[in-house]
Structure 1
Amino acid sequence: MLPDATLPASLLALLGNLRYVFTAPGFATFAALATGLIANTGAGTVTGMLTGAGLARTWPHDRAHAFFARAAWSSDTLGLYLSRLIVRTLLPAGAALTVAVDDTLPGPGTTDLHSTPATLVSRYAWRWSTEVTFAEARQELGAGQARNRIQLAVERTTPFALYCHTIVVIWYTLHGHHPADAAERRERQPWYTSKAEPAFADMAAELRRTTIAARFTANAPLKPTDAEIRAVQQAWAQAGLDHAA
């Protein structure tokens, strides 16, 4: 996998909270593919994850595909670990947490026959953050783009991308946030006059750039070649390419 020295220490520490979901080799693969999916600005395929991790020419591609198709880990368990991590790190002690479970999927109706119209509309509005998350994961992380054919891989790749979305948000909240981030976004896109919080694109770009910095500063402190300087400049620009949208 990517050497520890080439990943931000803050990201390694965060991913370490999920270590016990996997075997030791499985965790190494997970950490590399999660970092690769976040770092990659191209297609959100399994090979795209390898490219983003810088391992496309180092690892046999079957290692990455096998992680989704055959490896011993549970997507549900990973989700539970991430949920606990959110509660432990992002919520104040004793905070109330609303958990919504949709039990109407098999049919077109509702099991609630007594709530007022205003209450029903309010509950529907709660879904907005969910829809935004789906859109961000598709646009920034390529969720749903994996071209899997084996059933277990199909069942795992989209939740994996959504979990990477969660990892980005947790990392940014704990380690990447700066008060000037929203102001910088307003300066680049002045039509967002009331924007007070950074977008997910800002969070992902910040983590990508932090990862790029870790990769290059881990190398021996020799004078860089022109090619290496251009590689850093191109990677840095690509990390925030989506801001032009």
Structure 2
Amino acid sequence: MSLNPRLQHWPGQRVWLVGAGHGIGAALAETLQQQGARVALSGRTEAALQAVAQQRPDMPVHVMDATQPDDWARVRDALLAEWGGIDLVIVMAGDYTPLRAWELTPETARRMVDINLLAPMYAAAACVPQLMAQQGGGLVLVASVAGWSGMSNGLVYGATKAAVNHFAQTLYLDLHRHGIGVYLVNPGFVATRLTAQNGFAMPALLRPEQAADAILHGLARGRFDIHFPRRFTLALKLAAHLPYRLYFWLAHKVTGL
């Protein structure tokens, strides 16, 4: 039995995709539009969003800063005026800077907390009342397998993604009984401009298009925790339950850090 509504039929579905200018977000926008969804693109960089929307006049672009609550309210209201409702909000916006303990600065910590953790909270604050008024719809939050257990280079990033996992679980407990879906996406390594900063070989590396397909597969099955590629993520789930002595040894062995 699925934990969420199964999202299998996209024609006419009104999808607001935040963080759509690059990587997985851009690939997901294209795939959803090809399957008939009405997709609105949001992000900080208008040029990147326009490149995704190129030759798709029915894909509106709304530039916004996901770290600003007022921007969430402004774009939400614009889409409600245009569409009359929103069926699915996908929060892809995020940031990653590889950090070791001796490289941490308050500025870097604040930047990643703002975009990786506070932005999903602002999304929920802006959109959950509308979804409840509609008595349906869904919210997709993107975390990471880096939030499952400590990883070198993920000093702040992993902590923010662990918090997103917790936040999504609690949202689910509150919203499931109201018929609102909460979908948590925990990708493994995906080849994007962010992961290109890693200085180690990334196991089971996926292309953004493969990640987008995996997300849609999880939504179609109504999963709460959509993690991929499963040959890699299932091993990580198991590793997270190892005794610390074994886990710390394994983490060093895999990353070489």
- Judge same fold: TM > 0.5, yes or no: no
Larger Rg belongs to: 1
Greater strand percent: which structure? 2
Q: Scaled by the length of structure 2, what TM-score is found?
A: 0.26
Greater helix percent: which structure? 1
